[in-house]
Structure 1
Amino acid sequence: MPMPAAEIEALIREGIPDAQVEITDLAGDGDHYAARVVSESFRGKTRVAQQRAVYAALGERVGGELHALQLTTAAPVKE
């Protein structure tokens, strides 16, 4: 069963409260998404650590309800 983009966004925001989240349905099938997640909590962390934080927020849904996720993470740009 496909997972709605709004649910993905909600789970990420729940796990990373300050996150700015953009979700794109890549195939129009509710099964293949791209997510851009920006959070101050990522500052100083490696990309791998940032992505692990997002996957932790999504929990067991990755690989199950959420079949594929192209993930881009970053800390906010300081002005």
Structure 2
Amino acid sequence: MAMAGPDIERLIKQAFPDAHVVVVDLAGDGDHYGARVTSAAFAGKSRIQQHQMVYAALQGQMGGALHALALETVAPK
């Protein structure tokens, strides 16, 4: 079963309460999403570390219920 956009946003916000999260269904199929996550938790972290943090927040759903996620992470200035 595919994961819904609001569920993706909820999991990310649970891990990063200060985050501004925008989730978009890229293909309209409920299977391919894009997400832009802005959080102070990303400050000083490499892009790879930031993405790993978000994947961890998704609690193992990546590659399972969540098939594809085009991820953009940003630390506020």
Does TM, normalized by the shorter one, top 0.5?
yes
Q: Shorter-chain-normalised TM-score: which range?
A: over 0.9
Identity over aligned pairs, percent: 56
Distance 1:20 1:52 in 2: 17
Which blocks of at least 5 consecutive residues in structure 1 are unaligned?
Answer: none
What is the match of residue 26 of structure 2?
Answer: 26
Please tell me whether residue 17 in structure 1 is matched to residue 34 in structure 2.
no
Shift of 1:33: 0.2
Which blocks of at least 5 consecutive residues in structure 2 are unaligned?
Answer: none
Contact 1:2 1:29 in 2 (8 A): no
More helix by share: 1
What is the match of residue 5 of structure 2?
Answer: 5
Distance 1:51 1:9 in 2: 15
Q: How many residues align?
A: 77
The TM-score normalised by the length of structure 2 is: 0.96
Shift of 1:24: 0.5
Distance 2:2 2:44 in 1: 34
What is the match of residue 35 of structure 2?
Answer: 35
**RMSD between aligned residues:** 0.7
Distance 1:37 1:52 in 2: 13
Runs ≥4 residues deviating over 2 A: none
The TM-score normalised by the length of structure 1 is: 0.94
Counterpart residue identity of residue 34, structure 2: A
Please tell me whether residue 67 in structure 1 is matched to residue 58 in structure 2.
no
Shift of 1:32: 0.2
Distance 1:29 1:76 in 2: 31
